[in-house]
Chains A and B, each alone.
Chain A
Amino acid sequence: MATKEYAGKTVETTDDGYLINASDWNEEIAKEIAKEEGIEELNDRHMTVINFMREVFEKTGEGPSIRKLTKESGVPTKELYELFPKGPAKKAARIAGIPKPKGCI
């Protein structure tokens, strides 16, 4: 566990930088985490994905798989990889302030 400061707020994170409490999240924090992930600006499409992830997390306690994301959020896979290069599921989850997706067994 670690603590970090984002947008003037001190939050708890896991060692690999995921928020411990999804309720700490706000859009300002998202913008700063996005910068750390190499995404300079969060546009509408980024936000569509992020809001969808938070919605699924609130309903089910888990972030969605890429397949669920592309099927239900209206953002095609190709675009998803353009928005969040190198592993959209992990990156978008971190920016959305929800836990890192568990790899299945």
Chain B
Amino acid sequence: MKKLVILGAGTAGTMMLNKLHETLDRNEWQLTIVDQFETHYYQPGFLFIPFGIYNKKDVVKPKRDFFPKGAEVIVSEIDKIEPDQNRVLLKNNTVLNYDLLIIATGAKVKPEETEGMVSDLWHKNIFDFYTIEGATALANFFKYWEGGKLVLNITEMPIKCPVAPLEFVFLADSYFTERGIRDKVDIHFVTTLPGAFTKPKASSILGDILTKKNIHLTSDFNIARVDNENKKIVSWDEMEVPFDVLVTIPTNMGDDVIARSGMGDELQFVPTDKHTLRADNYDNIFVIGDATNLPSSKAGSVAHFEADILLENILSAIDGRELKAKFDGHANCYIESGFGKGILIDFNYDTEPLPGKFPLPGIGPFSLLEETKMNHYGKVMFRWMYWNLLLKGSELPIESHMSMAGKRA
């Protein structure tokens, strides 16, 4: 029997396990997946927790509900990958040999990378919402908060779901308006980027929406440290922004196992061919999802589009053929914009998010880069699709490759 091992059973790993289980000959291939946790978190749902729209039980399910029968599942922390020996060492002392390896260990936040972040004010006046602990602590804080300076800060790029910080301030505007204290809350979006978003068209349209919602924008701010005593964030060039509550998007990095294995770049992401998804330095290792160093968004929708490409290329690799399927960097993200509306963006490596219409057979069209109720329903629908279709590796009604249909250049 040949062995295919998947590291990480999050969005991407679970999806690949289901696809490969359907496709590979089970008399020839043994499939094994490893993860340290038994609970699957729907991370896109973390955004809604601080505002009491979701609570913890809306975003968790047991991972085992999504594994196919017959796959070998190991619950253990992964200690080290030894690519030159074709094996993986687990913390529970198991050694896994493999013929093919898929790395899907994701990305996580590292607030301790910034001086003074995890200190006196951590989870008292400083929160993140990229972890379940941070999101629920912030929900408790907001419930009793009577207003003041709310600062959101993006530390460093890249981050998972690069639109989530914008969604956060849009929802904060909506939430504090509904609570009748919007006039007492000063919302300030402080980012390392040169504008509201990364790409010019989207950045200018989203920047206008910030202005319209009376959210203050400070760009090109590179945080050096947090001054806990005076409640300020300070940049490398000594600019200061005071806060009463700081919502940080900390540095995002690949898992420490990547560094322990000597396989990562300076952010512990694995150098990966951006079209074939094969690890740059190893022929029998593939990488998918947030764990890669691809210049694409780190998002569940991206992992889904990658999965179709990766399946095809793994089958080619097994047959000893050239890897023909090419990922184009396709991302499709719903941006919650508050008051029951949303915005949709759809883009890839070469085409920036553009305005226009996004056709979706049977359901659409959705409006691109425009606030509509329909786009909000798209986001709501995404959670259902995530649990019921995406994780199980089923087809979604969206093509893996981006299409120009409906877009206005």
Could you list 19 examples of A-B contacts with CB < 8 Å? Answer: A67-B156, A67-B266, A72-B266, A78-B224, A78-B236, A80-B236, A81-B222, A85-B237, A86-B220, A86-B237, A103-B157, A103-B193, A103-B194, A103-B198, A104-B157, A104-B158, A104-B295, A105-B158, A105-B296
Contact of B61 with A by CB under 8 A: no
Instruction: Write out the residue numbers on chain A whose beta carbons fall within 8 Å of the beta carbon of B220.
Output: 86-87
Across the A-B interface, give the 7 residue pairs with the lowest CB-CB distance, nearest first.
A81-B236, A104-B158, A68-B266, A103-B198, A105-B198, A104-B157, A67-B266
Please name the residue on chain A nearest to B271 by beta carbon.
Answer: A60
Instruction: Write out the residue numbers on chain A whose beta carbons fall within 8 Å of the beta carbon of B198.
Output: 103-105
- Report how far A78 CA is from B347 CA in the complex, Å: 35
Contact of B344 with A by CB under 8 A: no
Asked if A65 contacts B266 (CB within 8 A), the reply is yes
Asked if A105 contacts B237 (CB within 8 A), the reply is no
Q: Which of B199, B237, B265, B296: most chain A CB closer than 10 A? A: B237
Contact of B263 with A by CB under 8 A: no
Given contacts A78-B236, A86-B220, A86-B237, contact A105 B267 (CB under 8 A): no
Contact of B52 with A by CB under 8 A: no
B51-86, CB < 8 A from A: none
* Shortest Cβ distance from residue B376 to the other chain A in the assembled complex, whole angstroms: 23
Residues in A lying within 8 Å of B, measured CB to CB: 65-68, 71-72, 77-78, 80-81, 85-87, 102-105
Q: How many A-B residue pairs have CB under 8 A?
A: 40
Asked if B224 contacts A77 (CB within 8 A), the reply is yes
Q: Which of B266, B297, B347: most chain A CB closer than 10 A? A: B266
Instruction: Write out the residue numbers on chain B whose beta carbons fall within 8 Å of the beta carbon of A71.
Output: 266
- Report how far A68 CA is from B266 CA in the complex, Å: 6
* Shortest Cβ distance from residue A71 to the other chain B in the assembled complex, whole angstroms: 5
Asked if B199 contacts A77 (CB within 8 A), the reply is no
Please name the residue on chain B nearest to A87 by beta carbon.
Answer: B220
Residues in B lying within 8 Å of A, measured CB to CB: 156-158, 162, 193-194, 198-199, 220, 222, 224, 236-237, 265-267, 295-297, 331, 347
Asked if A105 contacts B266 (CB within 8 A), the reply is no
Q: Knowing that A68-B265, A80-B236 are A-B contacts, what are 16 other residue pairs whose CB atoms are under 8 Å apart, sorted by A's residue number?
A: A67-B156, A67-B266, A68-B266, A71-B266, A78-B224, A78-B236, A81-B222, A81-B237, A102-B295, A104-B157, A104-B158, A105-B158, A105-B198, A105-B295, A105-B296, A105-B297
- Report how far A46 CA is from B230 CA in the complex, Å: 34
- Report how far A62 CA is from B403 CA in the complex, Å: 28
- Report how far A94 CA is from B400 CA in the complex, Å: 36
Instruction: Write out the residue numbers on chain B whose beta carbons fall within 8 Å of the beta carbon of A72.
Output: 266
Asked if B236 contacts A105 (CB within 8 A), the reply is no
Q: Which of B193, B194, B236, B331: most chain A CB closer than 10 A? A: B236
* Shortest Cβ distance from residue A23 to the other chain B in the assembled complex, whole angstroms: 24
Please name the residue on chain A nearest to B238 by beta carbon.
Answer: A81
Instruction: Write out the residue numbers on chain B whose beta carbons fall within 8 Å of the beta carbon of A65.
Output: 266
- Report how far A87 CA is from B193 CA in the complex, Å: 10
- Report how far A68 CA is from B193 CA in the complex, Å: 18
Please name the residue on chain A nearest to B302 by beta carbon.
Answer: A105
- Report how far A67 CA is from B265 CA in the complex, Å: 10
- Report how far A70 CA is from B402 CA in the complex, Å: 36
Given contacts A67-B156, A85-B237, contact A105 B224 (CB under 8 A): no
* Shortest Cβ distance from residue B262 to the other chain A in the assembled complex, whole angstroms: 15
Asked if B331 contacts A105 (CB within 8 A), the reply is yes
Instruction: Write out the residue numbers on chain B whose beta carbons fall within 8 Å of the beta carbon of A105.
Output: 158, 162, 198-199, 295-297, 331, 347
* Shortest Cβ distance from residue B223 to the other chain A in the assembled complex, whole angstroms: 11
Q: Which of A87, A102, A104: most chain B CB closer than 10 A? A: A104
* Shortest Cβ distance from residue B329 to the other chain A in the assembled complex, whole angstroms: 8
* Shortest Cβ distance from residue B328 to the other chain A in the assembled complex, whole angstroms: 13
- Report how far A104 CA is from B267 CA in the complex, Å: 14
- Report how far A71 CA is from B224 CA in the complex, Å: 15
* Shortest Cβ distance from residue B230 to the other chain A in the assembled complex, whole angstroms: 19
Instruction: Write out the residue numbers on chain A whose beta carbons fall within 8 Å of the beta carbon of B199.
Output: 103, 105
* Shortest Cβ distance from residue A42 to the other chain B in the assembled complex, whole angstroms: 19
* Shortest Cβ distance from residue A37 to the other chain B in the assembled complex, whole angstroms: 14
- Report how far A86 CA is from B239 CA in the complex, Å: 11
* Shortest Cβ distance from residue A17 to the other chain B in the assembled complex, whole angstroms: 15
Please name the residue on chain A nearest to B157 by beta carbon.
Answer: A104
* Shortest Cβ distance from residue B131 to the other chain A in the assembled complex, whole angstroms: 22
Please name the residue on chain A nearest to B329 by beta carbon.
Answer: A105
Instruction: Write out the residue numbers on chain A whose beta carbons fall within 8 Å of the beta carbon of B297.
Output: 105
Instruction: Write out the residue numbers on chain A whose beta carbons fall within 8 Å of the beta carbon of B236.
Output: 77-78, 80-81
* Shortest Cβ distance from residue B237 to the other chain A in the assembled complex, whole angstroms: 5
Q: Which of A67, A72, A85: most chain B CB closer than 10 A? A: A67
- Report how far A68 CA is from B267 CA in the complex, Å: 9
Instruction: Write out the residue numbers on chain B whose beta carbons fall within 8 Å of the beta carbon of A86.
Output: 220, 237
